[in-house]
Structure 1
């Protein structure tokens, strides 16, 4: 992945694990599944502990387009590294099917990441917010976000790192299901620490402006990067 580029197709993957198995999976993932996915054309964007749910592991990966996604997933999951470690990985998991297939809400709203994987250090917090939209709101919501909600977040000191909508194209690798029924808008922010997040998490009037467009309450996850996550707080 080159500096300044982003992935036009992104998977947001949220796994529910057996109690006490999150660090087992993270150790295995960071050791075996980063460079080996990148070698077949997958951008491993970030791996995280969900600070609010002890047995949730969240990660993001990206692809240039849907066709290359299919080809890269076949290459990885049929390849020797996954075949060697899949039993150990799957043994940590209760559920791995909570997956959103996304694309940037506008051409320049994807992740902008440098060419190097940063060293672990001042990791901060990544906030991932998922809004489940009413059917009639889905098409026009990205413009509403840009013109109404994003300025309100900016005034409250909340940085917008990236924003996405559902990718409605066909899942070319059905062995890994995605949530076909989702109507979502997903955006990410970053904070140096939890105290900063709590000071800036609410924008005056924001909930009232957002509520008419939602089918159900927002999902907000506070994510702590693993040692080898490219995306950091």
Structure 2
């Protein structure tokens, strides 16, 4: 992985599109052939961001998974399901993907680990997390760490679950030193672009959080572990809703990720 250098926000020259609160979000995890992640990222950041956004999609963030050297993770947003189907058909049937798909696919072992999500409470979205995007060709990596806490639910998410998070969980999560960005749940509408599979029949709750760096994320985990109210009451009550222990993705923003520290 390239050594990180930290540009100032003023160094970012192009702005992420105005789709400020996407109501449909894909969380996409790609497993790549060993050693091919940087090649895919270079291709993706050079060729695939602006053409998708020109068609009404929003490339929210692009990341290296710190715990899986051959995994590329990204977030893509849409206004709604109808615009998703139209935009994906236009992009994957269009000249940019046709020109570069062989090179992209050659880096991948699997691209079907995709969660189709929506904000837990509209309008939700990523408006508060917007940043300017670095220009094409930027090599400097932005500061910050994004975590995605993936919680497999025993039953589909409800408004009561969201209210419980807001009432009981968020205050401890934030006080321990995290900045929550978005709370997302499974989009229950059928996948309307079956050419790109998504994980179906898995009710999920996903919390995206921002940290200054890896050390800040470790301090956050330690503070929660030392918080007796959290460990003795809040976390056990929250954990009862899950079908399995949560999975945390530690995500380092790529050079052109609009979502970063």
TM-score between both structures, scaled by the size of structure 1: 0.94
1:55-91 deviation line (CA, Å, top 9, x unaligned): 1100001000000000000000000010011111111
Tell me the equivalent position of 2:245.
217
1:23-65 deviation line (CA, Å, top 9, x unaligned): 0100110000000101111101111000011011000010000
- Name the stretch that deviates more: 107-116 or 36-45: 107-116
Quickly say closer, same or farther: Cα 1:114–1:125, change in 2 above 3 A.
Answer: closer
Quickly say closer, same or farther: Cα 1:115–1:188, change in 2 above 3 A.
Answer: closer
**Distance across 2 between alignment mates of 1:53 and 1:62:** 24
Tell me the equivalent position of 1:92.
107
> 2:197 matched to 1:182?
no
**Distance across 1 between alignment mates of 2:58 and 2:142:** 22
Structure 1: gaps of 5 or more residues: none
Q: Secondary structure at the match of 1:61?
A: strand
Q: CA deviation at 1:121?
A: 5.1
Kept after mapping to 2: 8 A contact 1:13/1:59: yes
Tell me the equivalent position of 1:64.
79
2:256 to 211, 224, 228: 228
- Name the stretch that deviates more: 48-57 or 121-130: 121-130
Q: CA deviation at 1:148?
A: 1.1
**Distance across 1 between alignment mates of 2:131 and 2:210:** 19
Tell me the equivalent position of 2:157.
138
Tell me the equivalent position of 2:18.
2
**Distance across 1 between alignment mates of 2:104 and 2:192:** 23
Structure 2: gaps of 5 or more residues: 1-16
1:173-203 deviation line (CA, Å, top 9, x unaligned): 0000111111100011111111111111252
- Name the stretch that deviates more: 44-53 or 102-111: 102-111
- Give 1:50-199 correspondences, 5 Å limit: 50-112=65-127, 113-114=129-130, 116-118=132-134, 120=140, 122-135=142-155, 138-139=157-158, 140-199=160-219
Report the RMSD for the aligned CA atoms in angstroms. Answer: 1.6
Kept after mapping to 1: 8 A contact 2:85/2:193: yes
Q: CA deviation at 1:115?
A: 7.1
Kept after mapping to 2: 8 A contact 1:132/1:183: yes
Q: CA deviation at 1:116?
A: 3.3
Q: CA deviation at 1:157?
A: 2.2
Kept after mapping to 2: 8 A contact 1:2/1:114: no
Kept after mapping to 2: 8 A contact 1:125/1:192: yes
Number of corresponding residues: 231
Q: CA deviation at 1:217?
A: 1.0
